[in-house]
Amino acid sequence: MTYTGFLLSAALLLPAAGAFAGEINFVYPAEGAQLPAVAKTFVFGNISPAAAAFTINGEKIAVHSNGGFIAYLPLSGGEFLLSGALSDGTTAQRKLFVKAPAEQRPADGGLSLELTSNLSDSELQPGDYVRVSAFGTPGREAVFSLGKVADDEPMAEVPAGSGRYYGSYRLEQADRGAEFFPSARLRAGLFAHGASAKARGRVRVLAGPALVETSTDTVVLRNAPDGGYMMFLPKGVKLVSTGRTNGLRRVALSPDSEAWVDDSKVQPASGAPFPFGPVTETGSIRLRKTEFGSSAAVALYEKVPFTAEVLDTGLRVTLYYTNLHTNWVVYDSSDTLVKNVLFRQAALNTVQLDFETGPGELWGYNISYSTSAKALQVDLRARPRASLAWPRPLSGITVVLDPGHSPYFKCENNGRLPMRELRYSSLPAARCSLDGAVGPMETFEVNVNLAIAQKLKKELLSLGAGVQLTRSGDENVDLADRPRLAKDLGGDLFLSIHNNAIGDGEDPFSQPRGFSIYHYQRHSRDLAAALHRAYLKNIPLPDEGLRYGDYLVARMTWMPAALIENAYMILPRQEELLNTPAFQEQLAKVITEGVLEFFRVPPQSKKVKK
């Protein structure tokens, strides 16, 4: 887990010469950090001597035995000062900037109004609603206009007296081709001055849908503008765009299904869209045995969007903008993974293909469009076979370990600054962001992750597994490259090693905090559950549960993958544990125990002495 802040050197104010000098080191938030509009936030760092009485802004702060501390303190908007003091007179300050919460406008005096919607250009269709919101002097009559399309439509103040006004207008067929900047105003008396505001973004009413295509690989489609991930598409996939707002395009998939895609990830495509896409049709399906399992080539004449779902006994692929016209399925007699292929027209222009395997036989999958033929290639991976025989029961298995995050600070103008051998508080006063977490004693998560991964590698190697790391030192490996690298390294399992933090404004003491294990794909859940059970039995920290997590490194489809949050870097006691080689060894052994359970390795038999 990460939080992001600007890193500046700590400011220390020491007592007069001749006195014993204590030390206060604010680690987070950084000097000059910009915080959201929160009433309280956490602050952590370290002091010396650790036994000294310590206060921040007059509030007594508990200090761990090594000098580390974390506190949850009230804030006020604007420039805010944290003032720390030790009992020996040592003081230190940390300046923050806290976004002020929106304040209610006064009811008397001049009127004021600002639009809070339509901040960027948008495209809509007849039948869509133009929604206008504004914030201004409370208790007034507000109206909005949409150029020549609508004039002085009423707005409601919700809740009453809040100064927040809302209105909407449903576009009609007659509005096609119109362009306008929404505006709003507060009505005033005959001789009084009103207040008005105009949107920054232009609204254009489309005459019809537009055809676009993905312009890069791994383009994400969401089920709503701020919704969850729905599908991941390669380059060149055709999509029907029916609108655009806030940098996102709305995509029609079927009469009752839509998605949203980043506008920068698509480009205009040739051809005219059908009502719900460039309709293509399925042709023959041909299967062949491969070294990893089975591969199916589905004849298609356009690159269309698709989703994949792992079932109890196989994989379901759903194709949009597609009609079913499959007359032939050609099986490979040597293929033992795919037992049968079922297909059906699930809805208008929507086809479902089910590749049936035996229960638990599907290990992973990959879907792509063939470069040599007009076909969708569905690669299905069979379960790898571990030896299960002691003393090397994991022989035949390759595990890819991913020590999370990069050992570099990301600085302005795409600059990078290595973390190696640098203290957090001694960094130059440059605007840089941290990749990963840091602890009160200035421990970098990225280094602890690597130390745990290296110890885990030794444990797995001793049991016969092949082990690869996405990074073995100070290499900079981009996040998006890690799943691809795991596949290229021949991985059968993918384990991403992390340690946790929380977001600005959260209360570190609101709940017990410890370990958590994440999965994303259905075929990864058993791996995550086995790891979680091992942690429950062996790690003396609070259990935050087995979790579904929408993390890029957990979305691996080619192999089971799990993301492990071992402990919290920001909690002094847990940071101290994570820096202990013995605890790192314990974590490595526990993860290994989870892997052994996942592969159902029988317990090692013990020879009885005669």
Maximum average pLDDT range among 115-124, 423-432, 592-601: 592-601
Where residue 419 falls among pLDDT bands split at 50, 70, 90? confident
- Give the Cβ contact number of residue 306 at 10 Å: 24
User: What phi and psi, each to the nearest 5 degrees, are found at residue 161?
Assistant: 80, 5
Q: Does residue 586 have a pLDDT over 80?
A: yes
For residue 603, give Cα distances in angstroms to 5, 393, 600.
47, 10, 9
Q: Does residue 378 belong to any structural domain of this protein?
A: yes
Query: In whole angstroms, what is the distance from residue 599 CA to residue 530 CA?
Result: 9
485 and 523 co-located in one domain? yes
Task: Please give the biggest Cα pair distance in the chain.
Answer: 109
Higher-confidence residue of 328 and 12: namely 328
pLDDT at 218: 87
- 543 occurs within a structural domain: yes
Least Cα distance to 209 among 243, 237, 179 occurs for 243
Bridge partners of 229? 222
CA–CA dist 89, 86 (Å, integer): 6
> pLDDT value at position 101?
63
Higher pLDDT, 463 or 358: 463
- Give the pLDDT of residue 499: 97
Task: Provide the token pair at 301.
Answer: 């004449």
Q: Name the domain count of the chain.
A: 5
Q: How far is CA 397 from the centre of its chain?
A: 29
Q: What is the mean pLDDT of residues 222-236?
A: 91
- Which of 211-215, 408-412, 486-490 shows the lowest mean pLDDT across its residues? 408-412
Q: What is the pLDDT of residue 30?
A: 87
Instruction: Record the pTM.
Output: 0.87
Residue 7, pLDDT above cutoff 50: no
Report pLDDT for 426: 61
The DSSP bridge pattern shows strands 432-433 and 408-411 to be antiparallel
Please check whether residues 459 and 566 belong to one and the same domain.
yes
> Are 194 and 332 in the same domain?
no
> 194 and 222 share a domain?
no
Q: Beta-carbon neighbour count of residue 567 at 10 Å?
A: 24
* pLDDT of 155 above 50: yes
Q: What are phi and psi of 12, to 5 degrees?
A: -120, 135
Average model confidence (pLDDT) for the chain?
A: 90
pLDDT band at 407 (very low <50, low <70, confident <90, very high): confident
Mean pLDDT of 550-565: 95
CATH number of the domain within which 485 lies? 3.40.630.40
Q: DSSP assignment of 207-250, as one string?
A: SS-EEEEE-SSSEEEESSTT--EEEEE-TT-EEEEEEEETTEEE
More confident residue, 553 or 111: 553
Whether residues 448 and 574 share a domain: the answer is yes
Considering only residues 272 and 369, tell me which one the structure prediction assigns the higher pLDDT: 369
- Asked if 190 and 285 sit in the same domain, the reply is no
Domain that holds residue 555: 398-407+444-598
Kindly state whether residues 520 and 571 are assigned to the same domain: yes
CA distance 265 to 546: 33
Can you give the pLDDT at residue 193?
67
Tell me: pLDDT of 164 over 90: yes
Residue 104 lies in a domain: no
Looking at the fold, whether 542 and 403 belong to one and the same domain comes out as yes
473 and 345 assigned to the same domain: no
Predicted local distance difference test score (pLDDT) of residue 192: 54
Task: Read off the pLDDT of residues 128-152 as tens digits, 9 standing for 90 and up.
Answer: 999 999 999 999 999 999 999 999 9
> In angstroms, rounded to a whole number, what is the distance separating the alpha carbons of residues 442 and 464?
36
Average pLDDT rounded to a whole number, residues 439-467: 97
| pLDDT tens string 175-185 | 999 999 999 99
Domain with residue 356: its CATH number is 2.60.40.3500
